[in-house]
Structure 1
Amino acid sequence: MFSFEGFVRIDAICRGIFRVAALSVLWLATTVLGLGVLGFGPASYATAKSMDRWLRHGETPSVARTFVADVRERLRESMLAGGVVLAAGAVIVTNVFLAPTWILQAVNVLALVVLGVATAYVFPVMVATDIATTRRRFAAALLIGFGSLHWTIIGAATVGAAWWLLWTYATPLLLLFGAGLPAFVVGLVTRIVFRPLEESPEVPGLTRRSVHHPMIAPATEQVS
Structure 2
Amino acid sequence: MKQANNNRLYRILEWIMWMMYLNILWIGGWILGLGILGFFPATMATVVTIREWREGDGDLSFTKTFFRAWKKHFIKANVFGYFYLLIGFILYIDYFWLLNLESSFASVLFVLFILLVVLYVVSLLYLFPVYAHFDTGFFQTIRHAIILGFFSPIMTILMGICLAVIAFTWLKIQGLIVVVGVSVPLYFVTSLALTAFHSFKEKQDLLVENESLKKGEKSNA
Aligned to 2:188: 185
Higher strand share: 1
Structure 2: state its 5+ residue gaps. Answer: 209-221
Task: Find the aligned partners of 2:69 and 2:95 in 1 and give their Cα distance.
Answer: 35
Aligned to 1:195: 198
Task: Find the aligned partners of 1:69 and 1:106 in 2 and give their Cα distance.
Answer: 43
**Max radius of gyration: which structure?**
2
1:133-183 C-alpha deviation (Å, 9 max, x unpaired):
211100100111111012111221122012202312x11113332222221
Amino acid in structure 1 at the alignment position of 2:91: I
Q: TM-score, normalised by structure 2?
A: 0.77
1:174 lines up with 2:173 in the alignment:
no
Identity %: 23
**Aligned counterpart in structure 1 of residue 145 of structure 2, from 131, 141, 146:** 141
CA contact (8 A) 1:125 1:140 kept: yes
Q: TM-score, normalised by structure 1?
A: 0.76
Aligned to 1:210: none
Cα shift at 1:108: 4.1
3-state SS in 1 of match to 2:89: helix
CA contact (8 A) 1:24 1:180 kept: yes
Alpha-carbon spacing, 1:33–1:98, altered in 2? closer, same or farther (3 Å): farther
Cα shift at 1:71: 0.2
Matched positions, count: 201
CA contact (8 A) 1:93 1:108 kept: no
Alpha-carbon spacing, 1:159–1:58, altered in 2? closer, same or farther (3 Å): farther
| Correspondence list, 1:33-112, <5 A | 33-34=32-33, 37-59=36-58, 61-99=60-98, 100-101=100-101, 103=107, 107-112=112-117
Alpha-carbon spacing, 1:2–1:140, altered in 2? closer, same or farther (3 Å): same
Task: Find the aligned partners of 2:171 and 2:163 in 1 and give their Cα distance.
Answer: 12
Alpha-carbon spacing, 1:116–1:181, altered in 2? closer, same or farther (3 Å): farther
Aligned to 2:216: none
Structure 1: state its 5+ residue gaps. Answer: 205-224
Alpha-carbon spacing, 1:25–1:109, altered in 2? closer, same or farther (3 Å): farther
